[in-house]
């Protein structure tokens, strides 16, 4: 796993962050044009889908997952796989909300598998692996509460299990949704009221309507699509 290009230190108590996940785009699907939707916000689209907030001009293609229902494995043990380190309530929360959050992002019912175990299974194609780690096991976690590889397959999410601030007052509920958003190909936005806000000043647990609309639009367009404004305009659809 490559080291992050930038870790965003947003709060001393535990920032939200993601790590860069380079990868070749898939074949961009053909599209037919249709009138622009008034809900479409070009700036928000560029931030959420093309990483314009954190890395202006560097987001070259849509990085949403080719498979909208990846399987998820929650590693319950530490690095050695001999001792459980994840509490029952955290695992129960993941199992409960993951299908709902995935559907909010993709617009499609989630039909992947959610498995858990104490052992390390390694990274596998078609899977997102969730790990609760210490800085000793995964130094890139640093002062962050969570990290994820945006739109990668295999995908990874890491949570800082030794940082109590990351789990107080229900904060893990937002943290999990935020990092899952990254794993499904979403980036940080400047809207402080959004789940994918680069700051930690809100306590929402679900994606906003604006996030859902633009994320689902990206999944309709498909992985590999280049930025061209309204994605179903005549220029984007090849003039058809």
**Average of pLDDT values for 1-19?**
40
Tens of pLDDT along 24-69?
A: 555 555 667 889 999 999 999 999 999 999 999 998 899 999 999 9
**Above pLDDT 90, what percent of the chain?**
74
Q: Is the pLDDT of residue 161 over 70?
A: yes
Q: Is the pLDDT of residue 16 over 70?
A: no
Whether residue 154 has a cis bond before it, omega within 30° of 0:
yes
Domain assignment of residue 59, given as a range: 42-221
Q: What pLDDT, on the 0 to 100 scale, is given for residue 235?
A: 75
17 in any annotated domain: no
11 in any annotated domain: no
Mean residue pLDDT of the chain comes to 88
CA-based R_g, the chain, Å = 17
When pLDDT is cut at 50, 70 and 90, the band that residue 239 belongs to is: very low
102 in any annotated domain: yes
Q: Is the pLDDT of residue 17 over 80?
A: no
Q: What pLDDT, on the 0 to 100 scale, is given for residue 8?
A: 34
Q: What pLDDT, on the 0 to 100 scale, is given for residue 203?
A: 84
5 in any annotated domain: no
132 in any annotated domain: yes
Helix (H) or strand (E) holding 72: strand 71-75
Is residue 186 within 8 A of residue 65, CB to CB? The reply is no
Sorted by sequence, the CB contacts under 8 Å of residue 171 that are 6+ apart come out as 14, 145, 165, 203
**CATH number for the domain harbouring residue 114:** 3.40.390.10
Q: What tokens were used for 35? A: 């009138």
169 in any annotated domain: yes
Tens of pLDDT along 75-99?
A: 999 988 889 999 999 999 999 999 9
Per the structure, the count of domains in the chain is 1
Q: Is the pLDDT of residue 168 over 70?
A: yes
Sorted by sequence, the CB contacts under 8 Å of residue 154 that are 6+ apart come out as 123, 124, 125, 126, 127, 128, 129
Which CA distances in Å does 233 have to 37, 61, 72, 213, 228? 10, 17, 35, 17, 8
Q: Is the pLDDT of residue 184 over 50?
A: yes
């Amino acid at each position: 796993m490559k080291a992050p290009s930038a870790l965003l230190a947003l709060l001393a108590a535990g920032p939200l962050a993601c790590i860069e996940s380079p990868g070749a785009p898939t074949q961009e699907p053909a599209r037919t044009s249709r009138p622009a939707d008034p809900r479409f916000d070009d700036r928000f689209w560029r931030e959420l889908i093309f990483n314009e907030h954190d890395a202006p001009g560097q987001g070259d293609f849509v990085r949403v997952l080719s498979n909208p229902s990846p399987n998820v494995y929650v590693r319950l043990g530490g690095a050695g796989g001999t001792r459980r380190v994840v509490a029952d309530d955290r695992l129960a929360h993941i199992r409960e909300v993951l299908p709902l959050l995935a559907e909010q992002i993709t617009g499609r019912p989630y039909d992947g598998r959610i498995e858990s175990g104490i052992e390390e299974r390694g990274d596998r194609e078609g899977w997102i692996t969730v790990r609760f780690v210490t800085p000793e096991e995964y130094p890139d976690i640093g002062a962050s509460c969570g990290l994820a590889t945006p739109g990668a397959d295999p995908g990874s999410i890491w949570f800082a299990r030794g940082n109590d601030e990351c789990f107080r007052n229900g904060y893990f509920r937002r943290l999990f949704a935020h990092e899952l958003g990254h794993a499904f190909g979403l980036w940080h936005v400047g809207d402080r009221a959004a789940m994918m806000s680069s700051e930690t000043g809100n306590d929402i647990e679900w994606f906003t309507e604006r996030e859902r609309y633009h994320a689902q639009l990206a999944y309709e367009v498909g992985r590999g699509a280049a930025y061209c404004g309204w994605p179903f305009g005549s220029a984007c659809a090849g003039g058809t």
